[in-house]
Structure 1
């Protein structure tokens, strides 16, 4: 990757750019798409939601700026393999996408608002990627845990497609499992502000979101 998110072996880099990144069309992947959703219970009054929207460094920072969000964890979701890693997901063959787990207080911010954040902080018509990050591992997926959440997602996705007069690329998946990413990916934007990718992609994306949704920002981010 040009932004050097990690040093991958040469053969993996070659594979990443040569494969079709269409793992989501495999039969094993179709079984994931057709699964019944798993609902994550509240824990100490906190709920969890799951989103994939390109590089998880970017998405983590965006959701952490939202009022009512307690914590965001970077990881992998949506695929058919167990124990995905950064290297394996980057082959485009596991079905997983870089995703985040958003831990939030539903008394302060609703799932519907988190969906608004999701669609409002990405290029909704870009297929298999966001910005410079391309491949099925960077595709947009929004996960639902029950019928009500799916209805919210479908309604907002359909309204956005009508507004844009274009198909919205985000896939809608039943939530199955979230795999936490390697430790060095967590809070990456905060810990590595000097990284060229952070400076040129992550921070501009975050600032664009803040300018668009100032009313959703927590006090420490509302400036």
Structure 2
């Protein structure tokens, strides 16, 4: 009996079986934080190696399914935040926080530049104890770069609410819009010139 065809068939079946096995669960992690307008933060982190995806949204308040208008009305308690999915094999949570503190002024209470209101507050929303500890250490380390005290809040993430579609990927979609031209572009360029983020 010629066993070669049988062996070849078994080999092919084994290969097909291996390919059909479900892939391991994703090892990606998430980080949620706010530091002013979420358009700005999103534009920065979209240019950071290791960031898989970023989503603009609202968190830190009490109102369910908040709208942009409600958040701007200061009655929800929510901050404008972004939630990033990142690959810890490429970038650590600690590095994400380091860039977060470089990407905004964490010493101004409820304000970033001309954007004023509690929705623009500096806040890190941790998802587990490890993130809470890392956030505390990052805040302490960042303080060395500022003469004024850092006012960044470190609070647990209870619920992230995705912002309306028109807020997503805003800078890339509207690079010539006024706010993008005069606020976001200079911020992105400064961080690119300092080697903090990549050009895109």
| TM-score tier (shorter) | 0.7 to 0.9
**Aligned residues, how many?**
177
Q: Which among 84, 97, 105 is matched to residue 79 of structure 2?
A: 97
C-alpha distance in structure 2 between counterparts of 1:175 and 1:43, whole Å: 23
1:43–1:111 CA distance, 2 compared to 1 (3 A): farther
Q: Which among 183, 186, 200 is matched to residue 204 of structure 1?
A: 186
1:49–1:43 CA distance, 2 compared to 1 (3 A): farther
| Alignment root-mean-square deviation, CA | 1.6
- For 1:146, the equivalent position in structure 2 comes to 128
Matched, 1:84 2:56: no
1:69 CA displacement:
0.4
**Structure 1: unaligned runs, 5 residues or longer:** 1-41
Contact 2:98 2:142 in 1 (8 A): no
**Per-residue deviation, residues 46-72 of structure 1 (Å, max 9, x unmatched):** 211101111011100100100000111
**Structure 2: unaligned runs, 5 residues or longer:** 1-23
1:212–1:89 CA distance, 2 compared to 1 (3 A): same
C-alpha distance in structure 2 between counterparts of 1:101 and 1:43, whole Å: 20
1:80–1:200 CA distance, 2 compared to 1 (3 A): same
Who wins on radius of gyration, i.e. which is larger?
2
Q: With the length of structure 1 as denominator, give the TM-score of the two structures.
A: 0.75
Matched, 1:191 2:157: no
- For 1:109, the equivalent position in structure 2 comes to 91
- For 2:139, the equivalent position in structure 1 comes to 157
1:162–1:68 CA distance, 2 compared to 1 (3 A): closer
Matched, 1:44 2:26: yes
C-alpha distance in structure 2 between counterparts of 1:132 and 1:165, whole Å: 21
C-alpha distance in structure 1 between counterparts of 2:168 and 2:145, whole Å: 35
Q: Which among 42, 57, 67 is matched to residue 60 of structure 1?
A: 42
Q: With the length of structure 2 as denominator, give the TM-score of the two structures.
A: 0.83
Q: Which among 154, 158, 171 is matched to residue 153 of structure 2?
A: 171
1:155 CA displacement:
1.4
1:163 CA displacement:
4.2
- For 1:137, the equivalent position in structure 2 comes to 119
1:93 CA displacement:
1.5
Alignment partner of 2:130: what SS?
A: helix
